[in-house]
Structure 1
Amino acid sequence: MSEYNHHKIEAKWQEYWEKNKSFLVAEDRNREKFYGLVEFPYPSGDGLHIGHLRSYTAMDIICRYQRMKGKNILYPIGFDAFGLPAENYAVKKNIKPQETTAKNIINFTRQLKAAGFSFDWDRSLSTTDASYYRWTQWIFVQMFKQGLAYKAKQTINWCTSCKIGLANEEVVNGVCERCGGEVIKKDKEQWLLQITKYADRLIDDLDNVDYLDRIKSQQINWIGRSEGAEVNFQVAKSDQQIKVFTTRPDTLFGATYLVLAPEHRLLEELKNNISNWDEILKYIGEAQKKSDLERTELAKDKTGVEIKGVKAINPVNNQEIPIWIADYVLISYGTGAIMAVPAHDQRDFEFAKKYNIEIKQVVAHDTDEEVFTGEGKAINSGEYDGLTIAEFKKQITKWLTKEKFGRAAINYKLRDWIFSRQRYWGEPIPLIYCDQCDWQPVPEEDLPVVLPEIDNFLPTEDGQSPLAKVEDWVHTKCPKCGGVGMRETDVMPNWAGSNWYFIRYTDNKNDQQMVDPKKAEYWLPVNWYNGGMEHTTLHLLYSRFVYKFLYDIKAIPQKCGVEPYQKRTAHGMILGEGGIKMSKSKGNVVNPDDYLTKYGADATRLYEMFMGPFDQAIAWDEKGVTGVAKFINKVWALQAKVVAGAVIDKKITTALHQTIKKVGDDIVNMRFNTAVSQMMILVNLWEKAEEINQDDWQKFILVLSPFAPHLAEELWLAIGHQNSLCQVPWPSYNPKLIIADEFELVVQINGKVRDKINVAINITQQEVEDLVKKSDKLAKFLTDQTIKKIIYIPNKLVNIVV
């Protein structure tokens, strides 16, 4: 038997699959469909990372298995190629992003094919192709026509180096996460999408999908729906009011101060009455250097400044209370102002203790806690004393409404989605400004608005997009009146193309529609979407929003349902050796090419599945890859034992049928590591056997094939089959044969293993005792010994204590 040559065999089958279009798929209404989706990669200059392979291998195994179960499989791939990382890479290399992106996509495609994934490459797409972003622009135009896209001045995080607005998550310790440049707050006109109109649906519809609980929680927490009341606090000696939102209107009598966000508009309006205005201005400047995440970090030391010369009036007791500004209050959440109840809120308590502000208990409790946030009855609350929290909330909200001091309200953390970027490498926003007609959408027949190729695509010092300098592109006609028009020069964010790519996969070559309704109706929704946990908040939320909008305007057939993904799972991160997160600076990044070349795709795939529970982070260990490579060689060598009509060993038959069942069950439950382990158990049994029955061997090849497809194809061919096993059905198992009629009894004496005996399942303790007492092998250990007791663990082991 020749040695297993992964270079030769894997190249052979990859060429076969490509030449024969083995994974090409079309709609077939006589077959049940299965749409498996992975996050399409951003084609960086570094190529695929090992984490990509973990996610893609898992879904490849699932799709290969579902294909063998008779389903019509859509497993597509594409490239998310617009956005800041690609532009920064192009700037660094001093090459146009069109050129770097095209080159990187070629490299990614090579790597993906080398890993043996069963993608339908005819459905491949790139967000940077005009034929694709034509429809990204079309979606934006529909949102604009429906009033969901609007322009407004926003306070944004501005990177002074990248010359771009940053999300809160991209600011760390006051600097840009990507480049390390200083980040400041800046007011800028931005296009926004009104995702907040969909907030309730984005929460409520989670009841209809199969997502991991932690993924659902992330969605719900990001939207942040909370019920309570809006309360109006009059500013003393003024006609101004401060509106706050609170989930605990029942604690109003305990509100001893108010806190405003440093950006609150009221500060400017009241500045003539503020005696420490310079101190206030200094604090505002310091707050602007921090990201929202840094400002709201619970563990951070609370800072603030009292607004001297101005007081607020608590509406329930007419008492004047101080007003402070503090950076832990965000203008983007609620009303940008809070009422502080230090006796019943930890953050308010810490602030009050630090600045010696009154603390007033209004909820009774018999604990030693300085801050009580639990249930109790009202105290120090006038006529409401003795009421439960729930009843107090109802009554006080009713009173506030009647007296026009407030009203019942629902608040959301979710803000409208900032959808414009002052960069070059992105989808042009298809709008034209006219002095007479205001903003007008580019007519649909004129889409796409093609991104012009320019030599100088560096960010501008004034914060405008580089497109603003392309005058012959900017100047155009107003589509409404025919007068002078100016194109919008901002581009869309990198999220734009990735919000609907899964829809386009179902009909990626259609130049008449975003998608043919009949094709969408067949394939959508996605059956199973797997990706990283880092994308289970914003990307998932944005794509669900866009899908719901397209559903509402009937661009997606109603039969497809209101949710894009039936199931959403996530894989654990692969860490560097020693359990440290991979990074270039640490020099511990694992390059898939090294392992695909040295050990082969099948060994790399098998190891990624075998290394540990799929949903948990785990460290890369090359010794593990070596071990799996040995397993592949072991399987390859076993074919020399295969004999047609060989005597079937009962124990091996049981193990085979157990393997067929367990591996199938483990695939659908993403327990890939135990599936591989089960196959290893069977192979170890075969190693001890004289020969292997060919029918049994054939079933094993099919079970192995989703995990190690190249090896399985070659083994399949070796036993006389003429065609690929891609479409061969998954083997069936006999439920009666899964249950073994005997097991290996481990015999211990004083805890040390002295023998292993095959015995009947459910053998009684008395039978076990008789057996071990008569054993010649055990006799030498028991001679001249007194047996004190025999401990029997049914169907597992017996321990003789002497």
Structure 2
Amino acid sequence: MMEYQAKDIEQKWQDYWKKQNIHEPKQDFNLKKKYILSMFPYPSGAIHMGHVRNYCIGDAMARYYRKQGYNVLHPIGFDAFGMPAENAAIKNGIHPKKWTYANIDTMDKELDSLGLSFSKQREFATCDEDYTKWEQKFFLDMWKKGLVYRKKAFLNWCPNDKTVLANEQVSDGKCWRCSTGIVQKEMYQYYIKITDYAQELLDDLRVLQDKWPQAVLSMQENWIGKSLGLQFDFALEKQISNFKAFEVFTTRPDTIFGVTYCALAPEHPLVKEVLPTLDIQSQQKIIQMQNTPVRNRTMAQKEGVNLRIFAIHPLTKEKVPLWVANFVLIDYGSGAVMGVPAHDERDYLFAKEYQIPLKQVIESTELPFLDDGILCNSGDFNGIETSKAKWQIIEFFEVNKLGKGVVHFKLKDWGISRQRYWGAPIPLLHCKDCGILPQDEKKLPITLPQDVVIDGEGNPLDKHQSWKEDICPKCGGKATKETDTMDTFFQSSWYFLRYATPRDLWIQMPFDKQNTKYWLPVDEYIGGIEHAILHLLYARFFTKVLRDLGYIDFSEPFENLLTQGMVLKDGAKMSKSIGNIVEPNDIIKKYGADTARLFVLFAAPPTRELEWIDSGVEGAYRFIRRFYEKSENIQKTKTMPIVHKQDLSEKQRYARKKIYEALIKSNEIFAKKQTGYAFNTLIASCMEAFNALNDQDNLQIWTEGYYVLSNILEPIIPHICWEISEKFFDFSNFGSIEIDESALEEDEVVLVVTVNGKKRADMKVNKQMQQDEILLLAREKVQKWIDGQNIIKEVVVPNKLVNFVVK
């Protein structure tokens, strides 16, 4: 008996694939193409089963399309900058660069051990200097176009990683990487104007309908958060410093007559002016609000401080008290809101807490009343429906030059400054006479100094005097380099474009336009839904910016998106902190890579959560072992054997039927006629076909069955399928197989038996049965309806019905 030796078989074919370069894309733009891409990993030193699942899904797609004759680009790289490398440097005394590239080597070996068909010739890390060069060039292009600016603001600060975080990188008030609670810190920050593209980002979600998961589309739509409303000024009763008024934005101008207070964000500039005049307790309370993360504020009990100053209502001219409130956000609208407690739940809770009066302006029997209705207590607008009054009031403000109708987005500009060493330096200079200037592009890339001290105290670049020193390109005087580095999402927002260009062009250009036009957009993109409003939104934005800068000529980066579910163990997400990690190397050593691949694709559909079950891994191994050992029953052939159906027994016909049903299932799944790439149902179909093969003894059917199944299963368990192909077939057998329709035909059919056109019975007959035999059986079925009758006519419609005409 043939003995299954997974380690030997897998090493043999991994060496062969590498030597033959069979997974590298071809530079032939006349071929039909598929670009299959899994979101690239951070080089943490070891992959986990979440990685394995992601990459096996993508690899199955890539291998399938190669077999169908497509030119396939299926690359891998590493998202290599970021805080973990610096944390490792602090903890272990190892340089971030050395730590990062050592981890890449480790992960490369692990990925290779799974037999993943990545293009190795296009692999890179985002910390490579020839990658940094071009993203710094993109930054300077954006700076010159006015898409980058610098301002001082309260920012999300992670005390553990000692760096700024974008709003999208804060989850439940905690750092997205280390889960430390964030605080607010006022400092300078560079921003990219993603808001300039808010409307287009929103509009183009329609292009992605039915191609991206609805959950991701909804998350992006909500994050962009388009609002239509009225923008106007509340004049102050008395001028305070330079402030005569403050701006307000509201989506409910129909309720403007119901204003009983106004509230400012704790960071509002007017609050800063008033703060020194307040009592100590009020000052402390406001400072505490400022230091509370935004999400924590909005989720907390409504809190406020009365500023003891008044604004003047623009229509009624009544005095309106001014408060500071924790629920008002400085980066939404203008950081000030009009409080209408009779018709807004949030405003109502705040007013109730501080005994602020209510003023009803929509007819109702209860307060707060939040729905549409008829206006009351609203001057000339009484009796008008709120939906109409909203636009009439906006028009009134515009005609009388009191305000204007505007569109606001919840999306805020993307803050990319990070106060750390291990990142791409922002290519700007500071000159005391000339201000902030772009670096000379001939000096790119601006690289990191190697002789740094990373101790967790402040930004190492800011303390490296010799690296900071530079010359102003404008006046020739002394200048200093910018010491902030870029957010790592800047690097991951264009990496998919880099893969499309062969390595020998990388020094000359970020990506080649002809190659990019051929390969992009990505046909199939696989990754976690947790990146819906992080990487996926940034990548869409970056694509549009690079289009407008003339680098590319398309607007969306990813044609189709598959968001795979998490891998769980003991009911919880696999995590080192929980201690429930399953190491892929352990599985590969014990069972082989094909077993790991089969299990992660069989245990659950790709979009669902996968519960790790040890017995399931063992079951996958047993199937592969049996599939290999039973292959000794087949004969060597270079072409698929021709099987004559009429010579077969019932079990033999059934086996062939199951084989071709599995082939149909494979074609349907990869053509996405079944949503979500349900590999689990394909594998189940192959197992059913294999069991049917085992239940018959025809050598030709054994050979035909293995020929088909090895083709179907090659994208899933490639090593063993290549081994079987080498032993019994020809390597060229991996390709498209035509379906033998005769194998799917039923030998028996059900006929309807009618008397004078009225159905009286059903009857199962063999397709080969003669007409006389069919009529004889049919008469028996309807005997009681034709007894004593004269049979005028007997009609047989093949494979459909028998009708007796009687009188």
- Give the CA deviation at 1:183: 4.2
Alignment CA distance shift 1:676-1:265 (3 Å): same
Task: Tell me the TM-score normalized by structure 2.
Answer: 0.86
Aligned twin of 2:591? 599
Partner of 2:723, secondary structure, is helix
Q: Does 1:372 align with 2:369?
A: yes
Match of 2:687 in 1: 680
Tell me the distance in 2 between the aligned counterparts of 1:109 and 1:90.
Answer: 22
User: Counterparts of 1:658-697 in structure 2 under 5 Å?
Assistant: 658-667=661-670, 668=672, 669=675, 670-691=677-698, 692-697=701-706
Structure 2 distance, partners of 1:718, 1:469, is 64
**3-state SS of paired residue (2:547):** helix
Secondary structure of the structure 2 residue equivalent to 1:509: helix
Shift of 1:734: 4.3
Aligned position for 1:492: 486
Partner of 1:216: 217
Aligned to 2:288: 286
Is the partner of 2:662 in helix, strand or coil? Answer: helix
Aligned pair count? 736
Q: What is the aligned counterpart of 1:627 among 619, 626, 635?
A: 619
Q: Alignment RMSD, CA only? A: 2.6
1:408-434 deviations in whole A, cap 9, x for unaligned?
Answer: 011111111111111100111112222
| Residues 109 and 180 of structure 1: CA distance in aligned 2, closer, same or farther (over 3 Å) | closer
- What residue number does 1:38 align with? 38
Residues 171 and 419 (structure 1), Cα distance of their counterparts in 2 relative to 1, 3 Å cut: closer
Task: State the partner residue of 1:555.
Answer: 551
Secondary structure at 1:296's aligned position in 2? helix
Counterpart of 1:416? Answer: 413
Write the deviation string for residues 292-342 of structure 1: whole angstroms up to 9, x where unpaired. 121222xx32222232x2122332323323322221111111111112222
Task: Kindly provide the CA deviation profile for residues 729-768 of structure 1, in whole angstroms up to 9, marking residues without a partner as x.
Answer: 2222245654645599xxxxxxxxxxxxx9979xx9xx99
1:775 is matched with: none
2:760 equivalent in structure 1: none
Q: 1:566 aligns with which of 559, 563, 566?
A: 559
Hey, what does 1:261 align to over in structure 2?
265
Quote the offset at 1:260 in angstroms: 1.2
Contact 2:173 2:294 in 1 (8 A): no
1:527 counterpart (499, 523, 534): 523
Partner of 1:339: 338
* Number of the residue aligned with 1:797: none
Output the CA distance in 1 between the equivalents of 2:400 and 2:470: 55
Code of the aligned partner of 1:322: P
Residues of 2 paired with 1:370 and 1:681: CA distance?
A: 64
Q: Determine if the alignment matches structure 1 residue 610 to structure 2 residue 602.
A: yes
Deviation at 1:349, TM superposition (A): 2.2
TM-superposition CA deviations, 1:648-694 (whole Å, max 9, x none): 52222222222111122223331121111111111121121223342
The equivalent residue for 2:233 is 232
- Structure 2 distance, partners of 1:612, 1:759, is 40
Name the SS of the counterpart of 2:573 in structure 1: coil
More displaced 10-residue stretch of structure 1: 199-208 or 660-669: 660-669
Alignment of 1:368-447 (within 5 A): 370-447=367-444
User: How far apart are 1:522 and its partner, in Å?
Assistant: 1.0
Structure 1 residues 333-374: Cα deviation after superposition (integer angstroms, max 9, x where no partner):
1111112222332222222233332233333357xx644333
Q: Structure 1: how far apart are the matches of 2:135 and 2:456? A: 23
Could you tell me how far 1:396 is from its partner in structure 2?
0.2
> Equivalent residues in 2 for 1:71-90 (5 A)?
71-90=70-89
What is residue 714 of structure 1 aligned with on the other side? 723
Contact 2:185–2:291 under 8 Å retained in 1: no
1:729 and 2:735 aligned: yes
One-letter amino acid of the counterpart of residue 107, structure 2: F
Task: Decide whether aligned partners of structure 1 residues 406 and 698 sit closer, same or farther in structure 2, where only a CA change above 3 A counts.
Answer: same
* Residues 216, 75 of structure 1: alpha-carbon distance in 2 compared, 3 angstrom cutoff: same
Distance 1:638 1:318 in 2: 91
Alpha carbons of structure 1 residues 679 and 246: separation in structure 2 relative to 1, 3 Å: same
Q: 5+ residue gaps in structure 1?
A: 745-757, 772-802
Say which SS state the counterpart of residue 660 (structure 1) adopts: helix
Note closer, same or farther for the CA distance 1:370–1:77 as it changes in structure 2 (3 Å cut). same
SS at match of 2:632: helix
**Contact 1:703–1:730 under 8 Å retained in 2:** no
Q: Which has the larger radius of gyration?
A: 2
User: What residue in structure 2 maps to residue 515 of structure 1?
Assistant: 511
Query: Do the aligned residues in 2 keep the contact of 1:638 with 1:686 (CA within 8 Å)?
Result: no
User: So what's the TM-score if we normalise by structure 1?
Assistant: 0.87
Q: Who is 1:303 aligned against?
A: 303
The answer on 1:476 being equivalent to 2:470 is yes
Hey, what does 2:356 align to over in structure 1? Answer: 357
Per the alignment, in what secondary structure is the counterpart of residue 102 of structure 1?
Answer: helix
1:705 paired residue number = 714
CA contact (8 A) 2:461 2:468 kept: yes
Residues 43, 79 of structure 2: 8 Å contact kept: yes
Q: What SS does structure 2 have at the residue aligned with 1:211?
A: coil
- Answer whether contact 1:654 1:740 (CA < 8 A) is retained: no
Write the deviation string for residues 26-70 of structure 1: whole angstroms up to 9, x where unpaired.
23222111111111110013x111111111111111111122222
5 Å-filtered alignment, 1:8-407, equals 8-45=8-45, 47-168=46-167, 183-209=182-208, 210-238=211-239, 240-271=244-275, 276-297=278-299, 300-307=300-307, 309-365=308-364, 370-407=367-404
Structure 1 residues 526 and 342: alpha-carbon distance in aligned structure 2, compared to 1, 3 A threshold: same
- Give the direction of change, closer, same or farther, for the CA distance of 1:587–1:477 in structure 2 (3 Å limit): same
SS at match of 1:226: strand
Letter in 2 for 1:563: E
* Cα distance change of structure 1 residues 27 and 334 upon mapping to structure 2, 3 Å threshold: same
3-state SS in 2 of match to 1:294: helix
How far the C-alpha of 1:156 sits from its partner, in A, is: 1.1
Paired with 2:356 and 2:564, the residues of 1 have a C-alpha distance of 48
C-alpha distance in structure 2 between counterparts of 1:428 and 1:399, whole Å: 50
Partner residue in 1 for 2:3: 3
Mean Cα deviation higher: 473-482 or 419-428? 473-482
Q: Deviations over 1:563-589 (max 9, x none)?
A: 111122211111122x11222232111
Would the alpha carbon gap of residues 340 and 502 (structure 1) be closer, same or farther in structure 2, given more than 3 Å must change? same
CA distance in 2, matches of 1:89, 1:139: 30
Q: State the partner residue of 1:790.
A: none
Query: How far apart, CA to CA, are the structure 2 residues paired with 1:506 and 1:700?
Result: 33
Query: Please, which runs of 5 or more residues in structure 2 have no aligned partner?
Result: 636-640, 751-763, 768-773, 782-807
In structure 2, the CA distance between the partners of 1:742 and 1:318, relative to structure 1 (3 Å rule), is farther
Contact residue 75 and residue 120 of structure 2 kept, 8 A:
yes
Cα 1:68/1:266, change in 2 over 3 Å: same
Which whole-Å CA distance do the structure 2 matches of 1:250 and 1:742 have between them?
72
Distance 1:97 1:724, change over 3 A: farther
Distance 1:562 1:187, change over 3 A: same
Verify: 1:590 aligned to 2:585, yes or no: no
Deviates more, 1:528-537 or 1:170-179: 170-179
Q: Distance in 2 between matches of 1:318 and 1:353?
A: 24
Q: 2:693 touches 2:702 (CA, 8 Å); kept in 1?
A: no
Which is further off, 220-229 or 684-693? Answer: 684-693
What is the CA–CA distance in structure 2 between the aligned matches of 1:271 and 1:113, rounded to whole Å? 61
Q: Check the 8 A contact 1:528/1:566 in 2, yes or no.
A: yes
Percentage of pairs with the same residue: 39
Q: Structure 2 vs 1, CA of residues 438 and 740 (structure 1 numbering), >3 Å: closer, same or farther? A: farther
Q: C-alpha displacement at 1:698, in angstroms?
A: 0.5
Could you tell me how far apart the structure 2 residues matched to 1:355 and 1:26 are?
70
